[in-house]
Every structure is written in structure tokens, then in C-alpha cells.
């Protein structure tokens, strides 16, 4: 990655894009350090630390710690991510949106992007209001009058909209993948705090050295596994029949139909984690159940350290992996497209036999990808159980996002360098 950035820095046009991206990230980090008015940030941070194994802890990690400090960028990219997922699902469920995405071309993409922006603002309003009510209920606010409520909620909404705008600017004028890079920067900014807390724990004797070593080795193993699987794909051979148009002969060449092993990315983990954390999150807002009651057993059974939680979490990841694979890869549509373009898979007739074969391969690839995501998500839980650190329950999500975005950014830079310096880069 460092070598790629160094080569990209030598190209004036790419150097401008890298500097622009760095300036946007600097603004993002400054905004993450500016708290909204009327909030006791010390009380808020203590409260979020106590809720580290709930959905609030997941939001805090995604925002780079800004959620716990109630800064103007506390909502981060979460409203945009949620909006994108919702619009993607609605595109499949609503025929009008499906036609717009499939047949609308560039204009259709712009309309869907506009709908996503409006949905982001709507979700930011709901989350900003919920965030304010949370702080008001637990006495985290210094003042609770109407003006204070308006300032706090509007600050959160404006911050979320500004983060979305910065992500789009990086995509258009920077090195690309704007929202992902902002998410990457937020998660990566927590690394120094994690290292310092680990060192403090070893110094104070609360964390044994072999436990810290186990955490580091586990993270390195995750990085190697994610890097290895991220570029893995199953390539189905495709042959195109020769056809004559006028005096020219077209087709006859061989190609491949690529299927990424992890085509769903980190979304199955995020969705599975959100659902698995519902009961612990609700229990955190209710009075503690009596020992021996069903509520007490249920809360302990779904605790992030419990075996039941890990099994349910793993199964949810597999279920969501298949769900997203079915959304992104339609065997019938691909089979029809191959047939229209004169393509076929050797050994299978066009039409239903081809679709059935693609579906069979897709199921196998998805199963491997789902098991891989499950291992990435469960490994931090197991290590956290061994070293008695519940905060590691969302470590797998963070690692896969950081590594995935880093690899995508390197690929984007390499592709831009290939377009500008074929000879120098390939040599």
C-alpha cells in the first residue's frame, strides 16, 4: 500500500487527489473533536463505555469515538449507510425503482442518489432525536429547555449531512470510495487509544502480557485472512458464438464470469450484529431482572460472551450472506443476458440449465464467503472471552472494514495509475 501511494504521489494529478482527500479527512477529524453545546461529554463517554456491548457501542466504533463524545459528527456515516441499504432493498421490492436503476442509465443513478440523500436526512432526524432523548433521560444534558433541544438535534443533523457531502466530494474529486474512506478514518483513529489502554492494562496488572499478545496475533491473523479472501473469486468460463453482422465477424472469443467469494462485504456482519444486540440493548434500558427469573436467564444467554450468542450470531451472518448474494447476483437475469449476447457456458444449454448451474455455483461460493465472515466475526468474541474483554465483540467488524477499504483504495489508485502510466507502472 505504501509503495502504491508513493508511486501515485509522483503523478501530479493523483497527488492533487491525495492532498484533497487528506484535507477532507482533516476537516472530518476536526469536526469529531467539536462537541455540541449543552452536553456533559464526560458523563456521555462514561455511559457509552458501559454500553460497549450494545448497538450504541457499535455506533461509537463506526463514528470513530465521536458518538461517545457527542460531537457535531457523532452520527457519522451511519444515516447514509442505513439509507443506502434501505434504498437498495426498496429497489428490489418496488418495480418503479427497479426499472429506474436498471434502465434509467446515468440519469436514473442520479435520481436514486438524490432519493438516498433525502432518506439520509430523514434517518438523521430520527437518530438525532433519539440521541437527544437518550441524553435527556439519563441526565447527561446541562440544560433541557426547548432551545437546547433544537440546537443539539439540528447540530447532529447538519453534521451528518456535512459528512455525507464530504464523502461525495472525495468520491468525485479525491481518490474515490468517499464514504468508505471516512468510515475507515474514523475506525482507524481509535487505534492509538486501544494501544494506550492495552499498555496501561499491562502496566497496572489488569491485563496479562500473554493476553495482549493473543489479541495482537488474532488481529494479524484476521488481516491475513481478509486480505486473502478479499480478492478471491470463482471464474465461470463463458464462450461467445461467432456471428456475422454485415461484412464483419463478431464473437468467437472466450471470457469468464467472475463471482467474488465475499460479494456482500461487511453488511451481513453489521446486520447480524444489530439484530443480535437487540435484547442486550433493550435490557440495558430496563431495570435489572431478578436472579433466577426468565429475564435474567435470557439476558445472560444473549450476552456477547455467551456460547448461545456466538451460535445465533454465526447463523445470522450466514442467513444475511445468502440474502445479499441473492440481491446482488440474479442467475436468471445473467443467463438471459448471456443468451442475448450470444454467450454460453461450455457444457450447458442457454436458458434454464445455465441459470441452474450459475445458481449452484453461487450457493457454493456464498457458503464459503458466509463461513469466512462468520469466522472473522466470531474470532474476536472468542479471544475476548479468553482475555475477558467484552469490547472485542465488535472488533471483527472494524478489522474487515479497515482492511477492505485499504485494499479497495489501493486498487483504485493502481487502476488510475494504469490509465496514466501504462509503461512505467507495468515495468
pLDDT greater than 80 at residue 305: no
Give the DSSP letter string of 97-144: HHHHHHHSHHHHHHHHHHHHHHHHHHHHHHHHHHHHHHHHHTT-BS--
User: In this predicted structure, what is the pLDDT of residue 247?
Assistant: 64
Output the nine-digit C-alpha cell for 238: 463463458
Backbone angles phi, psi at 242, to 5 degrees: -75, 140
The dihedral over CA atoms of 43, 44, 49, 54, expressed in degrees to the nearest 10, equals 140
User: In this predicted structure, what is the pLDDT of residue 425?
Assistant: 45
- When pLDDT is averaged across residues 10-30 and rounded to a whole number, the result is 89
User: Tens digits of per-residue pLDDT, 226-248?
Assistant: 888 877 888 888 887 766 566 66
Q: How confident is the model at residue 197 (pLDDT cuts 50, 70, 90)?
A: confident
As a residue count, the chain comes to 427
pLDDT greater than 90 at residue 1: no
Q: Name which of 172, 189, 170 is nearest 21 in CA terms.
A: 170
Give the DSSP letter string of 282-320: HHHHSPPPPTTSHHHHHHHHTSTTSHHHHHHHHHHHHHH
User: In this predicted structure, what is the pLDDT of residue 154?
Assistant: 94
Question: Cell numbers 471464474 correspond to what residue?
Answer: 235
User: Tens digits of per-residue pLDDT, 253-299?
Assistant: 778 888 888 877 777 887 787 777 777 767 666 676 777 777 777 77
- When pLDDT is averaged across residues 147-169 and rounded to a whole number, the result is 92
Look at 15-19, 179-183, 250-254, 290-294 and tell me which has the smallest mean pLDDT: 250-254
Amino acid at each position: 500500500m505504501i509503495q502504491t501511494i508513493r508511486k501515485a504521489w509522483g503523478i501530479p494529478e493523483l497527488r492533487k487527489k491525495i492532498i484533497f482527500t487528506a484535507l477532507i479527512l482533516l476537516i472530518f477529524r476536526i469536526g469529531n473533536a467539536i462537541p455540541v453545546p449543552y452536553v456533559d461529554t464526560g458523563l456521555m463517554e462514561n455511559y457509552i463505555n458501559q454500553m460497549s456491548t450494545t448497538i450504541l457501542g457499535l455506533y461509537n466504533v463506526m463514528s470513530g469515538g465521536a458518538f461517545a463524545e457527542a460531537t457535531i459528527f457523532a452520527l457519522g456515516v451511519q444515516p447514509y449507510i442505513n439509507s443506502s441499504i434501505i434504498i437498495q432493498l426498496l429497489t428490489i421490492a418496488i418495480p418503479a425503482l427497479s426499472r429506474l436503476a436498471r434502465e434509467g442509465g446515468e440519469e436514473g443513478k442520479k435520481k436514486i442518489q438524490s432519493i438516498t440523500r433525502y432518506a439520509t436526512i430523514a434517518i438523521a432526524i430520527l437518530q438525532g432525536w433519539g440521541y437527544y432523548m437518550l441524553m435527556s433521560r439519563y441526565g447527561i444534558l446541562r440544560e433541557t429547555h426547548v432551545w437546547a433541544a433544537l440546537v443539539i438535534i439540528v447540530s447532529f443533523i447538519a453534521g451528518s449531512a456535512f459528512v455525507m457531502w464530504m464523502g461525495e466530494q472525495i468520491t468525485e474529486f479525491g481518490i474515490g470510495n468517499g464514504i468508505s474512506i471516512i468510515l475507515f478514518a474514523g475506525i482507524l483513529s481509535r487505534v492509538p487509544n486501544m494501544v494506550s489502554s492495552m499498555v496501561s492494562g499491562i502496566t497496572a496488572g489488569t491485563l496479562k502480557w500473554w493476553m495482549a499478545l493473543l489479541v495482537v496475533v488474532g488481529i494479524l491473523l484476521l488481516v491475513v485472512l481478509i486480505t486473502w479472501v478479499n480478492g478471491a473469486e470463482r471464474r465461470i468460463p463463458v464462450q461467445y458464438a461467432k456471428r456475422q453482422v454485415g461484412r464483419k465477424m463478431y464473437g468467437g472469443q472466450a471470457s469468464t464470469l467472475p463471482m467474488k467469494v465475499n460479494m456482500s462485504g461487511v453488511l451481513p456482519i453489521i446486520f447480524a450484529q444489530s439484530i443480535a444486540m437487540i435484547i442486550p440493548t433493550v435490557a440495558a434500558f430496563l431495570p435489572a431482572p431478578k436472579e433466577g427469573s426468565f429475564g435474567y436467564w435470557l439476558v445472560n444467554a444473549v450476552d456477547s460472551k455467551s456460547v448461545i450468542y456466538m451460535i445465533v450470531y454465526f447463523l445470522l451472518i450466514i442467513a444475511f450472506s445468502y440474502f445479499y448474494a441473492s440481491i446482488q447476483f440474479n442467475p436468471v437475469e445473467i443467463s438471459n443476458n448471456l443468451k442475448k449476447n450470444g454467450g454460453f457456458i461450455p457444457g450447458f444449454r442457454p436458458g434454464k440449465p445455465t441459470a441452474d448451474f450459475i445458481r449452484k455455483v453461487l450457493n457454493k461460493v456464498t457458503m464459503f464467503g458466509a463461513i469466512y465472515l462468520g469466522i472473522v466475526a466470531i474470532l474476536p468474541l472468542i479471544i475476548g472471552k479468553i482475555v475477558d474483554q467484552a469490547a472485542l465483540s465488535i472488533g471483527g467488524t472494524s478489522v474487515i472494514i479497515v482492511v477492505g477499504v485499504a485494499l479497495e483504495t489501493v486498487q483504485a489508485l493502481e487502476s488510475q495509475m494504469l490509465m496514466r502510466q501504462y509503461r512505467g507502472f507495468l515495468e
